[in-house]
Amino acid sequence: MGPFGIGKNGCRRRKPSKMAADLFRWGRTIVQVLGQTRLNPPVWPRNVCHAIKLLFVFIPHVLSFPMILTGEEIKAQLGKNIVIEPFDAAMLNPNSYNLCLHDELLVYEEIVLDVRRPNRYRRHVIPPEGFVLQPGQLYLGRTVERTETHNLVPMLEGRSSIGRLGLFVHVTAGFGDVGFCGYWTLELYAVHAIRIYPGLPICQIIYHTLVGEISEYRAGKYQNNQDIQPSLFFKELQSPQKDPQMRLAFGQEMAE
If residue 21 lies in a helix (H) or strand (E), which one and from where to where? helix 18-36
Distance (Å, whole) CA 63 – CA 69: 14
3-class DSSP assignment, residue 183: strand
Side chain identity, residue 66:
P
148 catalytic? Reply is no
Give the number of other Cβ atoms within 10 Å of residue 61's Cβ.
17
- Annotated catalytic residue: which of 73, 104, 148, 187? 187
CB 202 within 8 A of CB 99: yes
Side chain identity, residue 19:
M
DSSP 8-state class, residue 34: H
Residues carrying an active site annotation: 187
